[in-house]
Amino acid sequence: KMSKISEVTTKADIKPKSMHRAKIWSDDVENLYRFQQAGYRDEVEYKQVKQVDEVECWPETGFVKKLQRRDNTFYYYNRQRECEDKDVHKVKVYVY
């Protein structure tokens, strides 16, 4: 399934209109957590910086599987949830 963020065109340099912090865990929050751990705002910024069309995801859960950081090292993620409840409030949710 495509996340809502994927539907935003990634051609132009899109800047978010606003940002709020996540309050409860969800699939989208989990993926944002993974992008932000790797040093990106979200999927939109990752695709702009890395010039990729697709992000590798786990087929079972839809969570991000592998991300390339700006210094070209890779982050690999588990298929299960990694963002714990105590970390949910650290996740920034950007609105476009």
Per residue in 25-70, pLDDT tens? 999 999 999 999 999 999 999 999 999 999 999 999 999 999 999 9
Q: Kindly state whether residue 7 falls inside one of the protein's structural domains.
A: no
Q: Kindly state whether residue 52 falls inside one of the protein's structural domains.
A: yes
pLDDT band at 15 (very low <50, low <70, confident <90, very high): confident
Q: Kindly state whether residue 37 falls inside one of the protein's structural domains.
A: yes
Q: Kindly state whether residue 2 falls inside one of the protein's structural domains.
A: no
Dig out the tokens for 63 from the structure.
């969570």
On whether the CB atoms of residues 23 and 33 are closer than 8 A, the answer is: no
Q: Kindly state whether residue 9 falls inside one of the protein's structural domains.
A: no
Report the number of distinct structural domains present in the chain. 1
Q: Kindly state whether residue 71 falls inside one of the protein's structural domains.
A: yes
Q: Kindly state whether residue 8 falls inside one of the protein's structural domains.
A: no
On whether the CB atoms of residues 16 and 34 are closer than 8 A, the answer is: no
Per-residue model confidence (pLDDT) at position 91? 98
CA 39 to chain centre: 10
Range of the domain at 80: 25-95
Q: Kindly state whether residue 11 falls inside one of the protein's structural domains.
A: no
